[in-house]
Amino acid sequence: MPESSVRPRRIVVGVSGASGAALGLECLKCLRQAGAESALVVTRGGEITIEQELGMTLDEYATHADVVYDNKNIGAAIASGTYPVDGMIVAPCSMKTLAGIASGYSENLLLRAADVQMKEQRRLVLMVRETPFSAIHVDNMARLARVPGIMLMPPMLTFYNGPATLDDAVHHIAAKALEAVGVSCANYKRWSWASLG
Ligand SMILES: Cc1cc2nc3c(=O)[nH]c(=O)nc-3n(C[C@H](O)[C@H](O)[C@H](O)COP(=O)(O)O)c2cc1C
């Protein structure tokens, strides 16, 4: 690739209506800090959880992204495989959005962008969140686990990194998701015996 066409890593962040709007926000903040470019798309459900869980408007949330796409705009750049994207994270991923991705039912831009990642065999990280899971949820995840590039990463608690606050826990799982799309975050506590000592 010629020098002039080198660009920062470009990651799509999709936010759907599962609990955990803070996960998408942390991904956006880390991407900016790492010098990567973020493209944000939020479902109507995501907008509701952003308001309820973070007390933010979508506009406030979107200030942390480089580009924001309307979820109804199925003709946006990220709807095409020709647009260069280095990966996508859905943070959080609701069971409805999981079902849409698993069935290829791309009726909004987030779903279409995820479908594009799969057809182009690019990395797609799904931070699926629900508890408990039904058999239908598990079937949808099992189907997607076999697709090249897909990584199912529910925001499970981790203890080995010694989180002191919920923010620590959110940062850890967001940083882990970003590692999967080739972006390194500051203060990512990898496993080591020393970290427990
Ligand atoms: C505050 C709140 C929390 C929710 N948490 C979850 C959740 O953790 N997982 C889930 O699958 N759905 C959850 N839902 C329901 C989804 O928002 C709902 O199914 C919605 O239709 C998902 O649509 P979307 O995937 O297009 O955003 C929650 C809804 C609200 C209002």
153 within a domain of the structure (yes/no): yes
**Ligand 1: residue whose CA is nearest its atom 1:** 49
Residue 160 lies in a domain: yes
Q: 161 CA distance to ligand 1 centroid (A)?
A: 29
122-164 tens-digit pLDDT: 999 999 999 999 999 999 999 999 999 999 999 999 998 989 9
Share of the chain above pLDDT 70, in %: 95
Contact 46, 21 (CB under 8 A): yes
Mean pLDDT along residues 30-47: 98
Ligand 1 center to 167 CA (angstroms) = 21
The residue with greater pLDDT, 2 or 60, is 60
Rounded to an integer, the average pLDDT of 36-63 is 98
Report the residue among 19, 50, 110 best suited for mutation to probe ligand 1: largest number of ligand atoms under 8 A from its CB: 19
Q: Is the residue at 2 inside a domain?
A: no
d(CA 120, CA 97): 19
Q: Could you read off the pLDDT of 96-108 as tens digits, one per residue?
A: 999 999 999 999 9
State pTM to two decimals: 0.95
Q: Phi and psi at residue 159, in whole multiples of 5°?
A: -120, -25
Give the chain's domain count. Answer: 1
- Tell me the CA–centroid distance for residue 93 and ligand 1, in Å: 9
Q: What percent of the chain has a predicted confidence (pLDDT) above 90?
A: 89
Q: Show the domain range for 64.
A: 7-196
Domain membership flag for residue 1? no
CA distances from 36 to 8, 13, 48, 109, 166 (A): 5, 12, 27, 21, 25
Alpha helices in the chain (DSSP H): 21-33, 44-54, 58-62, 95-103, 109-119, 135-145, 166-180, 193-196
CA distance 127 to 94: 8
CATH number for the domain harbouring residue 173 = 3.40.50.1950
Quickly state the pLDDT bin for 2 (edges 50, 70, 90).
Answer: low
